[in-house]
Amino acid sequence: MGDVLVTGATGGIGTALVDALVAAGHRVTAVGRDVARLNVPGIEADLAEPGTLAAAVEKLGEVRALVHCAGISPIEAVADASPETWRRTLAVNVASAAELVRLALPALRRSRGHVIFVNAAPGMTGVPRWSAFVASKAALRELAESLREEEAVHGIRVTTVYPGATATDLLGEVRSTFGRPYDPEACIQPHSLAAMIVWVLNAPADSYPCELSVLPSPR
C-alpha cells in the first residue's frame, strides 16, 4: 500500500502522529533534520532548503500519503522581519511542502493517495507580529486548494487541517513571546489531534474531509 511520509515528525504534533500512525498499522517514513530521534525509517533533509529535497528523496518507494506537519513560527513585526525570516518561513512552511508533493506525485498518483497539510488555527488572519507565519499558512491553504483541483483526475485527496491551540513546546514559546498565558491542560492534546489526522487518512473510499478545523473542547 505504501508509506505515509511525515514531515515535522520530531515535533510535538508530529511525534504523536507517528505513534498513532504506527499503532494504526501504517508504515511511516519521516522526513526531517534529525530523524535518528525517531523509531521509524527516516530521510534526512532540511526543509528550509527545498532545492535539496530532490536528492534527499531520490530513492522514494511507494507512498500512500504525505502529511506535512513541519512548521516554524517566528514572531516579528513587519518592521523587524529580515529577508531571511521570510525566506526561511516560506521555505519550511510551504515551499518544501510543494516540492515534496511534486517529488512524491508519481507515487501518490499510483496509490491514489492523500496529501494532508497541517495549517494554522481556524480563522487565523491579520495577526500583528506574525505576518511571515500567517502569510505562509495562507499560501499553504492555497497550495492545497490548487492541488486538490489539479490532482482530482488522478484520484488524489487533499486535506487541510486547522488545529487550534495544541499543547506543544512551540505553542508554549509562542504564547510566552506574545505575553499570553499558556495552560497545556486547556489545549488539544497532541495525541488527540493525531487521532483525528489518522481518521482523515482512513476516510471511506467514496468521501473524505477536505478541511478539518479542530478546537479545544470548552472546559
Ligand X SMILES: NC(=O)c1ccc[n+]([C@@H]2O[C@H](COP(=O)([O-])OP(=O)(O)OC[C@H]3O[C@@H](n4cnc5c(N)ncnc54)[C@H](OP(=O)(O)O)[C@@H]3O)[C@@H](O)[C@H]2O)c1
Q: Is the dihedral of CA 74, 8, 149, 165 positive or negative?
A: negative
Please tell me whether residue 2 binds ligand X under the rule CB under 6 A.
no
Residue with smaller CB distance to ligand X, 73 or 131? 73
Q: Say if CB 158 and CB 113 are below 8 A apart.
A: no
Q: Which stretch binds ligand X (CB under 6 A): 57-65, 101-109, 114-122, 150-158?
A: 114-122
Nearest distance from C-beta of residue 27 to ligand X, angstroms: 19
Q: Please state, as a whole number, how many other Cβ atoms lie within 10 Å of the Cβ of residue 77.
A: 10
Residue with smaller CB distance to ligand X, 27 or 33? 33
Q: Tell me the CA distances in angstroms from 130 to 77, 89, 99, 197, 216, one per residue in order.
A: 7, 11, 24, 26, 22
Please tell me whether residue 12 binds ligand X under the rule CB under 6 A.
yes
Q: Which stretch binds ligand X (CB under 6 A): 12-20, 54-62, 178-186, 201-209?
A: 12-20
> Which residue reads 499510483 in cell numbers?
110
Q: Which amino acid is at 45?
A: A
Q: Which residues of this chain interact with ligand X, rule CB under 6 A?
A: 8-14, 32-34, 46-48, 69-73, 92, 118, 120-121, 163, 165-166, 168-171
